[in-house]
Structure 1
Amino acid sequence: MTPASVPGLESLGRVHFIGIGGVGMSAVARIMVARGIPVSGSDAKDLPVMADLADAGARIAVGYSAANLGDAQTVVAGSAIRADNPELAAARAAGLPVLHRSQALAATMGDDLVVTVAGTHGKSTTTSMITVLLQGAGLDPSFAIGANVPALGVNAAHGTSGVFVAEADESDGSFLNYRPKVAVVTNVEPDHLDHYGTAEAVYESFDRFTALLPSDGVLIACADDPGALALAERTLLRGNTRVVLYGTSDRSDLVLHDGGPGDVAVTSPAGQFSLELQVPGRHNALNAAAAFTVALELGVDAETAARALAHFSGASRRFELKGAARGVRVFDDYAHHPTEVRAALAAARSVAGEHKVHVLFQPHLFSRTREFAREFAEALNLADTALVLDIYPAREDPIPGVTSQLITRHLNAGGRLVGSGEAVAALAAAAGAGDIVLTVGAGDVTAFGPRIVEALDG
C-alpha cells in the first residue's frame, strides 16, 4: 500500500491486530478502541497490556490461529510477524487488506492537526515531552509514543483537543505514511542501513518526509545537528513549508542556553524562559527546546509551556533509574547507535560529577555492529569501566566475522568483553559510592539493572 492510499478510519470496519502486545501495536489498538472501532488481536504471549485492551473492549487471544481473525475486515500486522504466521496467511488468502502499523496509525489520525517527531535519535523522549507539555498547558492531545511514559501512565491515548502527537519511525521508511502539519526532526544520521543500504538513501527518505508538509505547515529542526540542519536548508530551497530552527547555535530561531543541570533556558521572540528539567544531558535540553517550539507553534503561552515541561520525568528506558544501593545509582538506557551511547554517557557524567561511570553495553544487530564498531568503542571510552556483552541479534541472522570483539578491540584499559554470567558481579565490584552504573542497548540488557542493584545491596 502506498502512502497516498492510507484509508479513512471508518472504512476499516472490524480490525484485527496480529502482534497486539507490542508497544507500538497496542498503542494504535488502544486509540482505535477509544474512537469506537471494533478491535480484536492476538500475540504469542499473554502480555500485561493485553488485559488493559480487553478491559477497554477489545477481543484478545493468546497464541496465533487462523480462527482468531473471526469476522475481521482489516488486519494490522506487526513488523516482527513472519509471512508464515497462520493469521497473516489466512488474511491474505481471504483477500483482506493488511496494513502496516504506521498505516493503521495514520488512519486513526483522521482530520486532527498532526504533530510528528522524526529523527535518528530522541523521538520517544521528544514526543513524550510534547505530550506532557500540552497536557500541562490544559490541552488534551491524542498521542502515540514508542515507549511507556510514567508521567502519562500509558504510551497512547485518544484526546479531545483535535491535536494528535505521534512518534514517526524512519527505520523502515514507514514515517512517509503520515500527513503532519507540524514535523519535528531532532537529527539525521545514517542508521538502519540493513533497510536503506546507503547513507544517501537515509537522507533521501527524510527529504521525502519533509516534502509531505503543507504550505501552512512547519518543519522544526535542530540546528545543532549537521544532518537536521542540512535537511532544513534543503527544505527551505524546496519552499513547500516554513522552517523553524532550534538549538544553541546562532542560526537558531529559538536559542537554547544550556549551562548544565538546573541552568537551562530558551530565548524566543516572546522572551527568555527558564526550563526546569528532571532529565539530564544536552540531548534532553535540545529535546525540551523542540517541545517548547512546538507548543509556541500551537499557540501555547510561553510561560505556561516552560512551567509544563517541569512535569516530564522521563520515558521508559531513557536514562531510567532502576534503583540504588551502597551509594551507587543504576540507570538503564535504550541507546543503540554510537551518537545515542555518547549522549547517554555524557548525561551519566553530568550526574556522577567527580565520581566514576561504569557501563554495560549490549550491541544491537550484527549489521549495526559491523558498520559502527569503532564509533561504539569511541563512545564507550567516555566511561571509566566499559563492559560489552555479545551482540543481541533481534531480527538478524549472524554475519560471519561480526562479533562484539569488533568493538572491544578499540576500548581503553577499562573496557573488555564479558559473558552475561560475570557482568553483574564485575559491575558490583567496580562501582563505589557516588558512582553511576548504566546498562545500555536495545536488547535484553535492560534486565541487568535490577540484578546489579540486588548485587550491590547484597
Structure 2
Amino acid sequence: MESKMKVHFMGICGSGAAPIAIIAKNNGFDVSGCDLSTSGYYKDALIENNIEIFTGHDLSHIKDIDILVISPAILDVSPNHSEILEAKKRGILMTWQEFSAKYIQNEKFVISIAGTHGKSTTTVLMGLVLENGGLDPTVEAGTTFKNWAVGYRIGNSNYFICEADEFNNNFLNYSPSIAIINNVEMDHPEFFKDITEVKDSFKNFIKKLNDPKILIVNEDSNAIGEILYDLKDWLNKEGVKVIGYYIDNKIKFPFHMEYKAELNSNTPEYSSFKVVNGNNEYTFKLGLIGKHNVQNSLGVLITALELGVSIDSIKNSFENFKGIGRRLELIADIDDIKIFDDFAHHPTAVATTLDSIKLSYPEKKIFAIFEPHQLSRVKLFFNEFATALRKADRVIITKPFLGREASKNIEPVNLDMLCNKIDVNKSEYIENSNEICNKILNEVKSGDIIIVFGAGESYKLSRKIIDVLKEKTMFK
C-alpha cells in the first residue's frame, strides 16, 4: 500500500521539505530524512512527529527506501551526490513538489497561491481563514506562524492549501482547483531568461487548473493583465471562472466577478480598508501594514467567500492575523528601538516594505541592513535595488548570500558601487557582522527603526543586533 511506502527526504530541515515530510508522516508514510545541518527551526517539529533525522548525507540512507525526495536546490548544489545518482538509477528520485503533487495533493481540493511576492503570507492567512471558518484545511507554507508554531497545519478535510513557487517551474507539478496569483514580475534570473519566460511559466500553471477551475488574480500587476489577454480564448473555452481584484488598476477583461478595495488608514498595528463587489460593500481591519498585504488579503477574501465562509468569520480572522515569521516581523523593541526581520530580497519587496514602514511610522529614522541574495539577482536589479534602498535613512549592505549559486563561480558584484549609487553619504558595504553591530550601536537612537532584509542568513545578524542593544541597555 502507498501508505506504507518508505520515503527519505534529503535536505529535510528546509522550510519547503520539512512541512511536506511531516504531512506525509501524518498521512501514513514511513518518513526519514537527512540534512547537512539539523539545527533549523523545523528540527523540533520533525522529532515531535517521530521522524528520524541523520546529520550529513550518505548512500546508506536510501538502502531500503521507496522514494528519495529532494529540494530542487540540491540539484544545483550537489547534482552528482551518490544518493542522487543511486536514486536516479533506481528511478525513485523526485523533488518534494513532485512528491506533494503525486501523493499528498492527490484527490484533494487544492488551493494554490502563486506570484513573485506574498505567497507565504497569503497561504497562511488562507489557512487561518478556512480554519476559523470550520473547513479544517491542511496547509503547507515555507515559513512559521505563531498560532501553529510551525508553517504547516494538519487538517482532516479535503482542502489542501499550498504555496506554488515558479522557480524551476515547481508549480507546474500542481493541479489546483483554485489558483490565486498575487503578482508577476521578473525574478530568479538564475533560472528564467527574461519576463517572457516568467509569463509563459505562469500561463502553463494556469493551464493546470482542475475543476471547478477558479482563477483569482490581482489586476494591479501589469504582467497578469498581459497573461490574461494572451489566454483569453483558452480561459473562455475551458470555462475557467476568472475573478479579479484591484486597488488602483482595473483591467478591461471579461471577469466573472470583480472586487475593488480602497485603503482607509494605516497605523503601526493594522490596515483598514473597504471592499466593493457589485452591490456588496464590506469594511475590514487587517492586522498587518502596507498596501501589498491588503492586496494579498483580497485573494483570501474572495476564495473564502467562494467556499461559503461567513463575512463575519473572515473579518475576525483578518483583524487577528499578525503575520508570519520573517515578513516584516517585529522581533524586538529595545529602548524604543524597533527591530524588524524581513524576508525581502527582490527590489520591489524591499521598496514596498520601506514604504509601508514610512507610512505607519512617519518621521522615524529608518536603518536598512540588506543582505543581497544571489549575485545574479543583484546584477539584474542593480539600479532597482539602489532606488529601493534609497528610501531608507541609513543603509548597510552585508556580505551576499550565494545560496544555490555558491558553486557556479559567478563574477562578484562591486557592492561599494551599489552604495555609491544609493547615496555615498548614507550607505556603506560592511562584510563583518561585528563591525555592523558596532556601527548600529554607535548610531541608533531611541525611536529609530532597524529593518534587516534578506532570505539567507540575515536572521542571524538581526538576533546579534538585538543582543548588543540589550547589552547596551543593561549598562545604562
Q: Compute the TM-score of the two structures, normalised by the length of structure 1.
A: 0.93
Higher mean displacement: 400-409 or 346-355: 400-409
Question: Kindly tell me: are residues 51 and 319 of structure 1, through their superposed partners in 2, closer, same or farther at Cα, counting changes over 3 Å?
Answer: closer
Runs of 4+ in structure 1 off by over 4 angstroms are: none
Match of 2:453 in 1: 440
For residue 165 of structure 1, what is the amino acid of its counterpart?
A: I
SS state at 1:314 partner:
coil
What displacement does 1:324 show?
A: 1.3
Question: Kindly tell me: are residues 325 and 59 of structure 1, through their superposed partners in 2, closer, same or farther at Cα, counting changes over 3 Å?
Answer: closer
8 A contact 2:272–2:286 mirrored in 1: no
Identity of aligned residues (%): 29
Q: Deviations over 1:367-417 (max 9, x none)?
A: 111100110010001111111113221121343352323422211232222
Provide the rounded CA distance (Å) in 2 between the counterparts of 1:307 and 1:126.
16
Match of 1:25 in 2: 17
SS state at 1:438 partner:
strand
What displacement does 1:270 show?
A: 6.9
Out of 355, 372, 375, the position equivalent to 2:381 is 372
Provide the rounded CA distance (Å) in 1 between the counterparts of 2:449 and 2:354.
10
Question: Kindly tell me: are residues 42 and 250 of structure 1, through their superposed partners in 2, closer, same or farther at Cα, counting changes over 3 Å?
Answer: closer
Match of 1:251 in 2: 250
Provide the rounded CA distance (Å) in 1 between the counterparts of 2:73 and 2:232.
37
Question: Kindly tell me: are residues 449 and 270 of structure 1, through their superposed partners in 2, closer, same or farther at Cα, counting changes over 3 Å?
Answer: farther
What displacement does 1:291 show?
A: 1.1
SS state at 2:205 partner:
helix
Out of 306, 318, 322, the position equivalent to 1:309 is 318
Higher mean displacement: 419-428 or 102-111: 419-428
Match of 1:4 in 2: none
Out of 98, 104, 110, the position equivalent to 2:99 is 104
- Say whether residues 1:74 and 2:70 are aligned partners: no
Provide the rounded CA distance (Å) in 2 between the counterparts of 1:423 and 1:118.
35
Question: Kindly tell me: are residues 260 and 435 of structure 1, through their superposed partners in 2, closer, same or farther at Cα, counting changes over 3 Å?
Answer: farther
Provide the rounded CA distance (Å) in 2 between the counterparts of 1:406 and 1:170.
31
Q: Deviations over 1:121-161 (max 9, x none)?
A: 11111111111111121221011101111122221233112
* Long gaps (5+) in structure 1: 1-8
Provide the rounded CA distance (Å) in 2 between the counterparts of 1:393 and 1:68.
28
8 A contact 1:142–1:157 mirrored in 2: yes
- Say whether residues 1:202 and 2:207 are aligned partners: no
Question: Kindly tell me: are residues 51 and 387 of structure 1, through their superposed partners in 2, closer, same or farther at Cα, counting changes over 3 Å?
Answer: closer
8 A contact 1:327–1:434 mirrored in 2: yes
Out of 408, 420, 429, the position equivalent to 1:417 is 429
Match of 2:343 in 1: 334
Match of 1:234 in 2: 230
Provide the rounded CA distance (Å) in 2 between the counterparts of 1:56 and 1:269.
47
8 A contact 1:359–1:438 mirrored in 2: yes
Match of 1:6 in 2: none
- Say whether residues 1:34 and 2:5 are aligned partners: no
What displacement does 1:214 show?
A: 3.8
Question: Kindly tell me: are residues 126 and 406 of structure 1, through their superposed partners in 2, closer, same or farther at Cα, counting changes over 3 Å?
Answer: farther
The RMSD of aligned alpha carbons is 2.0
Q: Compute the TM-score of the two structures, normalised by the length of structure 2.
A: 0.89
8 A contact 1:151–1:313 mirrored in 2: no
Match of 1:456 in 2: 469
Out of 353, 363, 366, the position equivalent to 1:357 is 366
Match of 2:179 in 1: 183
For residue 244 of structure 1, what is the amino acid of its counterpart?
A: I
- Say whether residues 1:46 and 2:55 are aligned partners: no
State how many pairs are aligned.
449
Higher mean displacement: 287-296 or 369-378: 287-296
What displacement does 1:215 show?
A: 6.0
Out of 281, 285, 289, the position equivalent to 2:290 is 281
